[in-house]
Amino acid sequence: MLTYFLRRAARAVLTLIGISIVVFVIARLSGDPSLQLAPEDATPAELAQIRAELGLDKPIPVQYLVFVERVAHGEFGNSIRYQQPALPLVLSVLPATLQLGLSAFVLSTVAGVLLGVVTALKRGSWMDSATRGLAVIGQAAPSFWIGMMLILLFSVQLHWLPSSGRLGLEHMMLPTLALALNSVAVVLRLTRASMLETLSSDYVRFLRAKGVPRRLIVWKHALRNSSIPVVAVLGVQLGHLIGGAVIVETVFNWPGVGRLMVEALNARDFAVIQAGALLVSFFTVGANLSVDLLFGVIDPRIRYE
């Protein structure tokens, strides 16, 4: 189990390094920030001087190494736009994004698994068909469209819920729903399929032959066995949800990392882009690592690997 975990942890670190390279290079491909900093009538010499001050005159690999060295000291550089350190800037809006991502994650896990189990048990009923129909729509529709439709219905037409901002619980509901719907559909469909397969397995038949009551078979044995593929997908979903929050935040004017990143991208604010992307990746990779650990807890065949 320990070697299993160490292997996964090493892989997670490598993933983070890979992400940092990609983010670093892509940010630099997006344009030249000196153009935004310099006055409109700046001469090429003045632009070159600004670039030199920012360290942008060096080759990209060298810039990257300088960046890594700074990050190792907790330094992500200054935001060009706000003229203050990038890391505290990102950290100040991170809770809003995590709040949104995690609440959507909890919603998709609980609703997806419960609906998946129930539809598997009621296979072929009208409820099963209706839920699966909705799930197909939920999986096909993009979250920004769902977000706008929710705003139209619940804010514009019914005036039940606010359409933007982050004040109380009621502000959270629409963005959470818009973000979670896709994951609910994914988790539901997988749970249902996995549950149906487990329920037709040989060991479930032997459990019945032993006289184990149905409720124990479903909630103890079948659910745990069905959860293995579901947990794998949940890890991926958590990444999607935090990434997807970027779009939903823009639709609902939610003051999180996503909105900050969109602004930073427009301003070629490299330090903020890098800090934001790395922090979000850190949480995503961490989520996947927890999933790997969870596998070990659920499945003894991995624990004794």
Q: Which is nearer to other proteins, 172 or 222 (CB)?
A: 222
Enumerate the β-bridge partners of residue 85. Answer: 78
Is the alpha carbon torsion for 199, 205, 210, 211 positive or negative? Answer: positive
Q: Check if the beta carbon of residue 282 is closer than 8 Å to that of residue 15.
A: no
The separation between CA 82 and the C-alpha centre of its own chain, rounded to angstroms, equals 26
How far apart are CB 243 and other proteins at their closest, in Å?
A: 32
Q: Among 149, 214, 253, 263, which residue interacts with other proteins (rule: CB under 8 A)?
A: 214
Distances in Å between the alpha carbon of 163 and those of 40, 54, 231, 250, 254? 38, 40, 32, 12, 10
Q: Which is nearer to other proteins, 184 or 207 (CB)?
A: 207
How far apart are CB 233 and other proteins at their closest, in Å?
A: 18
How far apart are CB 234 and other proteins at their closest, in Å?
A: 17
Q: Check if the beta carbon of residue 255 is closer than 8 Å to that of residue 246.
A: no
Which range binds other proteins by CB under 8 A, 9-17, 47-55, 73-81, 205-213?
Answer: 205-213
Instruction: Please give the Cα distance from 239 to 217 (Å, whole number).
Output: 32
Q: Does 293 bind other proteins (CB under 8 A)?
A: no
How far apart are CB 6 and other proteins at their closest, in Å?
A: 22
Q: Does 225 bind other proteins (CB under 8 A)?
A: yes
* Largest CA-CA distance found in the chain, in angstroms, rounded: 86
Q: Check if the beta carbon of residue 77 is closer than 8 Å to that of residue 269.
A: no
How far apart are CB 208 and other proteins at their closest, in Å?
A: 6
Interface pattern 13-52 for other proteins (x via CB under 8 A) = ----------------------------------------
Q: Does 122 bind other proteins (CB under 8 A)?
A: no
Rg, Å, the chain Cα set: 24
Q: Which is nearer to other proteins, 24 or 295 (CB)?
A: 295
Interface pattern 184-203 for other proteins (x via CB under 8 A) = -----------------xxx
Q: Among 221, 232, 243, 247, which residue interacts with other proteins (rule: CB under 8 A)?
A: 221
**Residue 167, φ and ψ in degrees, nearest 5:** -115, -70
Q: Check if the beta carbon of residue 278 is closer than 8 Å to that of residue 19.
A: yes
**Residue 166, φ and ψ in degrees, nearest 5:** -140, 90
Residue 219, C-beta contacts closer than 8 angstroms, at least 6 positions apart: none
Q: Show contacts with other proteins in window 160-189 (CB under 8 A).
A: none
Q: Does 207 bind other proteins (CB under 8 A)?
A: yes
How far apart are CB 147 and other proteins at their closest, in Å?
A: 39
Instruction: Please give the Cα distance from 8 to 95 (Å, whole number).
Output: 27
Q: Which amino acid is at 289?
A: L
Q: Show contacts with other proteins in window 127-146 (CB under 8 A).
A: none
Q: Compute how many residues bind other proteins; rule: CB under 8 A.
A: 22
How far apart are CB 298 and other proteins at their closest, in Å?
A: 7
Q: Does 301 bind other proteins (CB under 8 A)?
A: yes
- The site for other proteins (CB under 8 A) is made up of 201-203, 205-214, 216, 221, 224-225, 298-301, 304
